[in-house]
Structure 1
C-alpha cells in the first residue's frame, strides 16, 4: 500500500473532465491507499462552504465515501481555497492540516506545505497572502452575500492573470513565482526534516539537494492528473494521470 499526495487540481466548471478524472482516481486507486493528502488548491476558487459549484458536491461525496472506506483524507489550504472551512471539510470527511505541517510517513518525518510560503521573492503576493489569511479579513469576506463573494473571486482571478501576463512580458515569471532557495533551506532547518513535499509552483519534480535533503514538487491538474506515491520502503514516485 502507498500514501498518495496531490495538489493544484484547480477543479472548475470549465474543465469537467478533470473533475471526472479526480472522481475516478478517488473511486479506484485511492481506495487502496494508506492515506490521501491534498496539499491545497483543490478548487480553482472557493468563496465559502456555501459555494454552489457542482464540482464541490461531486468531490465531497467521493471524498466522504473514501474516508468512510477507511482511508484517511487530509487537506491543507492553498492560495485558491483558503476559505474552505470546517463545514465542507466535515461534509467531505477531510481532516484539516495547518500549513506547514510535519507528518510521520513510514518512520520518516516529512514536511508538508502548499508551497506559496516558499516563494518569498514574490513580495507582492506575500503581502496579499498575509491579508487573506487574517481571520478578521476572512470573517468579513464570509459575511458578504454569496453573489458579492463570487464577484470578488472573479475579479481576483482576472487581476492574477493580468499580473502573470505582466511578469511574463518582463521575463520575471519563472524566477519570481518559483521557490526561493534560501527560504527552502530555512524550512528544512526550522523543521528538522530531510524531505519536503509541496505544490503551488506547478513544476513537478523530485529534487535531490545538498545535505541529503529532498524537495518533491507536485504537479497541477490543468490538463492531466499528477500523483505522488510514497511507499513504505521509502521510495517516492511522481507520475501523471490521464
Structure 2
C-alpha cells in the first residue's frame, strides 16, 4: 500500500525526455499505487482547457487511462498551471484540490499544497499571483481565441524569467513562519509541497512536538517522486531514458 506524489514536471513539447519519463512513470509506477497526487506545475504553462494540441491530448490520455484502471488522481494548481479547470478534470477524471488540502495518509493527517504561497518574501510574485487568480480575469482570458492566449502567455513567461533571474534564492524559498502557520491552521504535524525545487525532508521541533515538511523535487534532470506508505515515506528518483 502506497501513495505517490509528484510536482514541478514542467511538461512541454520542447522536453520530450521529461514527457517520456512521465509516461513511463504513469504506466509502470503510478498504476501500482493507491492514489497519485500532482501538486502543481505539471505543465511548463497550461494555457487553457481548450488546448487543441496533440501534446495536451497525450497528457490528458495518460491521466484518463490511469483513472479508468482504478487509481484516483488528485491535482493541486501550481503557479504555471492554475488555469487547469473543470473541463480538464472532466476529460481526465482527476479531482481538483483546494489550494491547501488536508488528506488522510494511512491514518496521518497531512496538508498538501503547491507551495508558492509559502514564499511570502517573494512580494512581487504574490502580487502577480493575486492578480491572475481573480475569477473575472480568468473568465475573460479563457474566452479569448487560443492563439491570442498563446501570445499573452509567451510575454508573461519572458517577463517572469527575467524577474526570476534577479531574485535571491532566499526570496524564492519558503518562509518558516508561514509553514508553521499553515500547519497550525489545519491542525496537522505534516506537510507536503513542491514549487521550490529543493527536495528534502525537514524535521521541525516546536514545544517538544515534531513536525515534518516534505519538499518534492523537479523533473528537469530526472523524475522526482515521493512514495508514502503505511510504513513511512521516501523521496525517490526515476532516471530519464533515451
Provide the residue aligned with 2:225 in structure 1: 227
Alpha-carbon contact 1:34-1:71 (below 8 Å) kept? yes
Deviation at 1:52, TM superposition (A): 3.3
Q: Deviations over 1:151-193 (max 9, x none)?
A: 11111111111012222xxxx2x11000001111111111110
| Separation in structure 2 between the aligned mates of residue 115 and residue 55 of structure 1, nearest angstrom | 26
Aligned length: 236
- TM score, norm. by length of structure 1: 0.95
Q: Deviations over 1:22-75 (max 9, x none)?
A: 011111111110000000111001111112343321121111111111110001
Alpha-carbon contact 1:19-1:55 (below 8 Å) kept? no
| Separation in structure 2 between the aligned mates of residue 55 and residue 76 of structure 1, nearest angstrom | 21
1:184 is aligned to 2:189? no
Give 3-state SS (helix, strand or coil) of 2:158's partner. helix
Q: Give the superposed CA RMSD.
A: 1.0
Alpha-carbon contact 1:205-1:217 (below 8 Å) kept? yes
Q: Deviations over 1:80-99 (max 9, x none)?
A: 01111111112112011011
1:199 is aligned to 2:194? yes
Q: Which runs of 5+ in 1 are unaligned?
A: none
Alpha-carbon contact 1:11-1:55 (below 8 Å) kept? no
Provide the residue aligned with 1:29 in structure 2: 29
Give 3-state SS (helix, strand or coil) of 1:229's partner. strand
| Separation in structure 2 between the aligned mates of residue 93 and residue 59 of structure 1, nearest angstrom | 13
Provide the residue aligned with 1:59 in structure 2: 59
| Separation in structure 1 between the aligned mates of residue 25 and residue 54 of structure 2, nearest angstrom | 18
Provide the residue aligned with 2:234 in structure 1: 237
Provide the residue aligned with 2:7 in structure 1: 7
| Separation in structure 2 between the aligned mates of residue 123 and residue 206 of structure 1, nearest angstrom | 26
Alpha-carbon contact 1:23-1:58 (below 8 Å) kept? no
Provide the residue aligned with 2:215 in structure 1: 217
- TM score, norm. by length of structure 2: 0.95
| Separation in structure 1 between the aligned mates of residue 155 and residue 26 of structure 2, nearest angstrom | 32
Provide the residue aligned with 2:161 in structure 1: 161
